[in-house]
Amino acid sequence: MQKERVRLSQRRVVMLLSNAFRPDPRVLKEARSLARGGYDVTVVAWDREGKHLAQEQTEGFAVQRVQDVRSSYGAGIRQALRLPRFWLHAWRRLNVLQPAVLHCHDFDTLPPGWLWAKLHRRPVIYDAHEYYTELQRPRLRGLVGKVLLALIGAAEQGLSRSAAAVVTVDERIASRYRNRRVVVIGHYPPLEFAPRRNEDSPSPSLSLGGRGAGTPGGMLVYTGRFSTDRGLVVIAQALQRLAAQGLRPRLRLLGAWTSQTEEQAFWRAMAGLEQQVEMAGWVAFEQVPAQLIEADVALAVLQPIERYVAALPVKLFEYMACGLPVVISDFPANRAVVAGADCGLLVDPANVDAVAAAIARLLADPTEARRLGQNGRRAFQTEYNWQALEQKLLALYDKLSRQGDK
């Protein structure tokens, strides 16, 4: 019995997360895979607004939410000052849970996780969803900003280098870290994310979902955070160009605005076409496919800034899973996937006319749109899915667990 207890404790994993896990898709996929692999997983998340269950059991793992530290989301000095309070509460949870492996999601959970793991001689994994220092660069300006950015960069490099492993989403971000064990695990949806459909339907409307279902002009869809740098104003301007040509597709937006200023900029650009926009708001991960499959064309025209140019957007693979043809920024990483799978049209994301023309082309040729969508779905099923990656995560944990057994 004592040996069994030891064996169980050696497979206990805690994941630290600075959002409320409602759920965070990447954390959900990893926690679910580890639980299915026989690990005892607990996600300790920061519910800054106290809107969710304090504790719950879901899909084989536990979720504990820290609700004692109230804060808003986003950047700012107030949030930065509250972060150490979250660290303190998370530390107390770690003392109770005593994980064998600690998995820190994004840099804002790494300082307390790294220190706790080092003091208790446990392996710590740094899961870099994005390169945190690069993410903060646009927010930190002036002399003080440069100093803070340098400190953040040094801390991220130093702590990640001495972690047991770094897990990240693509080769570009992986190249930033000097850890001896960097594992690339992409942002691919699980196979079950793709809704079932009749791919042999003779009608494009059944294959693509929206056309012929009371949506004159077709339906476009965008999912994710809403902001100018993610292309929302360009999309609005493209819709104005299409309206001038007599085309009025609807636009469904799934997600949330990054700020009120961004929302106002979008609606100014949409002036006169407001009735064409359907605001679905934030949608639970498992409900996203039902929203996507009703559309005809999916959009991902992120603007040419450093953090987007070389990264692959999660939404691309969600669109492919649902069989949607994509209109997407012509960046190197996007091009490798989209041109390789022949699943959409690549455009200059800053060229409104080019974006409008690509949308019009797909709406005018449902046969071609269906072909591209089916190609993307096929590529998702054979290559760009979570099941193709989860063995890398389980192999990493198996290696760290065996090291802990010695």
Q: What is the pLDDT of residues 96-108, one digit of tens each?
A: 999 999 999 999 9
- Judge whether residue 129 has pLDDT over 60: yes
- SS3 call for 378: helix
Place of tokens 């949308």: 359
Q: What average pLDDT score do residues 233-251 get? A: 97
Strand segments, DSSP code E, in 21-123 are: 40-46, 55-58, 61-66, 101-105
Task: State the helix-helix crossing angle for 352-364 and 232-244, rounded to 10 degrees.
Answer: 60
User: Which range among 83-97, 141-155, 175-189, 203-217 shows the weakest confidence by mean pLDDT?
Assistant: 203-217
| pLDDT at site 203 | 36
User: Which range among 136-140, 207-211, 276-280, 335-339 shows the weakest confidence by mean pLDDT?
Assistant: 207-211
Strand segments, DSSP code E, in 234-273 are: 250-257
Whether residue 163 contacts residue 155, with contact meaning beta carbons closer than 8 Å, is answered with: no
Residue 108 one-letter amino acid: D
Whether residue 27 contacts residue 13, with contact meaning beta carbons closer than 8 Å, is answered with: no
Residue of 20, 58, 28 whose CA lies nearest to 390: 28
Q: What average pLDDT score do residues 387-401 get? A: 93
| pLDDT at site 345 | 98
Confidence grade of residue 9 (pLDDT, cut at 50, 70, 90)? low
Who wins on pLDDT, 379 or 25?
A: 379
User: What b/e readout covers 331-368, taking b as 16+ CB neighbours within 10 angstroms?
Assistant: bebbeebbeebebbbbbebeebebbbbbbbebbeebee
- Widest distance between CA atoms in the chain: 75
Q: What average pLDDT score do residues 204-226 get? A: 64
Confidence grade of residue 370 (pLDDT, cut at 50, 70, 90)? very high
- Judge whether residue 80 has pLDDT over 90: no
Question: pTM, whole model, 2 decimals?
Answer: 0.82
Who wins on pLDDT, 201 or 273?
A: 273
Please give the share of the chain, as a percent, with pLDDT higher than 70.
89
| pLDDT at site 232 | 98
- Judge whether residue 92 has pLDDT over 60: yes
Q: What average pLDDT score do residues 263-274 get? A: 97
Who wins on pLDDT, 201 or 30?
A: 30
Average pLDDT over all residues of the chain: 89
Q: Is the peptide bond before 25 cis (omega within 30 degrees of 0)?
A: no
| pLDDT at site 4 | 40
- Judge whether residue 200 has pLDDT over 90: no
Q: What average pLDDT score do residues 75-84 get? A: 74
- Judge whether residue 208 has pLDDT over 60: no
For residue 299, give the DSSP letter: E
Confidence grade of residue 341 (pLDDT, cut at 50, 70, 90)? very high
